[in-house]
Homo-oligomer: A and B are copies of this chain.
Amino acid sequence: MKLNWGMIGGGEGSQIGPAHRLGAQADGNFNLAAAALDADPAKGRAYAQSLGVAADRAYGDWREMLAGETAREDRIDLVTVATPNATHYEITKAFLEAGFHVLCEKPMTMTVEQGEDIVRTARAAGKICAVNYCYSAYPMVRQMRAMVRAGEIGKVRLVVTNFSHGHHGDATDADNPRVRWRYDPAMAGVSGQFADCGIHALHMASFIVGDEVEKVSADFASTIASRVLEDDAMVNFRMAGGTVGRLWTSSVAIGRQHGFDIQIFGETGGMRWASEQPNQVYYTPVGGRTQIMEKGESGLCSDAARLSRVAIAHPEGFPLAVANIYVDLAAAIRGGSSDGLPLAEDGLRSMAAVYASVASAKADGAWTDARPPMFR
């Protein structure tokens, strides 16, 4: 039986909405049963119905949806929150408290305190609160994680990760509202590019290595003068087990489209993965040759095998990484393991790292505790 799924945000013309709809429905696990898709209630209702949502579940806003769904017997099993960042906390908290499982877009909250509140709320409610760190659901990222955790490259010494693009590099476009809000503290909070893209990379480091980030030393820059928040950041970090980390993120790296890559170096090997060629991992045992590992090759870990749909060298891309988050959510909702799912704790850790990095950058690069207070 398909699970009933609801969606908030991600209306017509939104960036991430189509990936969620495709991701939730691709494998037949979820049925779009309810939605409040748009800031404009009328548009949201109309678009939801055009997508096959029944008229009485095509809501004008999320409060209406919360009330409506809470009252139904056939209430949705999962709600996705894909609205602008500043609304995530309030919506996610309300649905968790009402007993719904939630998939929240990143960043989960705007502050560390909100993040801690969501973690406590999810725990109290006994509900899943997942965060859409969807890159972690690529089959070959799962493969790296399995190999690293199995010790195949030994103790991890070093993680180097970049998430840099150049799509905000045009100064003549900097006042375009779709771009400008990201660098305006009134709308984006304490961080621009690092909170937008950097946290994917930071999450990935912990996800693969299996250790938390303990402290950071950061350098932030606003390379376009009119910007208050950073459009380029370097964050050095240390993980619980002593792993050294280096994370560069930029939105003014003209010529990079979406340069998210991660390199993991351990005592007995190194690995590299890049989001623009996500179906391969380059693996080098110490003293040996670099090997190209392929999604779909024989002998991959069960997680990588399970989350791939087509044969070797038939590429699977970003929407199917999002779909894999939904595959894991469906399993978890049905009582299975949520081993690989990014959860509220991860969303909280990201926010703590963002605040610590901001503080470090202001304090002359001083090393700063990046752990959420509740996990110290």
- The interface of chain A, by Cβ under 8 A from chain B, is 1-2, 15, 18-19, 21-22, 25-28, 32, 51-52, 153, 157-158, 160, 164-167, 169-171, 217, 219, 221, 223-224, 232, 234, 236, 244, 246, 248, 250, 252-258, 263, 265-267, 269-272, 275-279, 282-287, 289-294, 297, 309-320, 360, 364-367
Contact = CB atoms under 8 A, between A and B. Distances in A.
Given A18-B310, A313-B276, A284 B270 contact: no
A232 B257 contact: no
A170 B287 contact: yes
A291 B294 contact: no
A366 to B, nearest CB: 5
Contact of A255 (B157, B171, B270, B366): B270
Contacts of A275: 313, 315
Given A166-B265, A234-B246, A309-B18, A252 B365 contact: no
B258 A314 contact: yes
Contacts of A276: 279, 313, 315
Q: Give this chain's copy count.
A: 4
Interface-centre pick from A265, A269, A312, A360 (highest chain B CB count, 10 A): A265
Contacts of A311: 15, 258
Nearest to A173: B287
Contacts of A21: 28
A303 B27 CA distance: 26
Contacts of A314: 19, 258, 317-319
Interface-centre pick from A166, A169, A258, A291 (highest chain B CB count, 10 A): A169
A291 B314 CA distance: 20
Given A19-B314, A28-B52, A365-B365, 13 more contacts: A2-B52, A160-B164, A166-B270, A169-B270, A170-B286, A171-B267, A232-B244, A254-B269, A255-B284, A256-B263, A257-B294, A289-B297, A315-B318
